[in-house]
Amino acid sequence: MPNLINMKRKNRIEEYCETTFNCLKANVHNWGKPDYARPISRIYYSGVFDCGNPNPTGLISAKALKNKKNKLKTVCDHYLSPQFVG
């Protein structure tokens, strides 16, 4: 059994992709049902967010760019939400 406490490798893209795919596939029968739209899209969002940022777009909002130039704290912007993309 692997030592889960020491598994801290960043950007586990393959593991997150496979796990997210399996979770979405298990819920395919609920796809298109309004009550399931958010819970299912959150599965996708979590999988994308938790694997790190392997493919940054480089896109930034005007406000975030201004803050960055003024040396204010910024965070990675979401150009499109992962739920929308998924």
pLDDT digits (tens, 9 = 90+) for 53-76: 777 777 888 888 898 899 998 877
Which two structure tokens, joined as six digits, stand for 68?
């960055």
What is the tens place of the pLDDT at every residue in 24-62? 999 999 999 999 998 998 898 888 778 777 777 778 888
Q: What is the spatial distance between Cα 31 and Cα 36, in angstroms, rounded to a whole number?
A: 7
DSSP H helices in 4-53: 13-26, 37-50
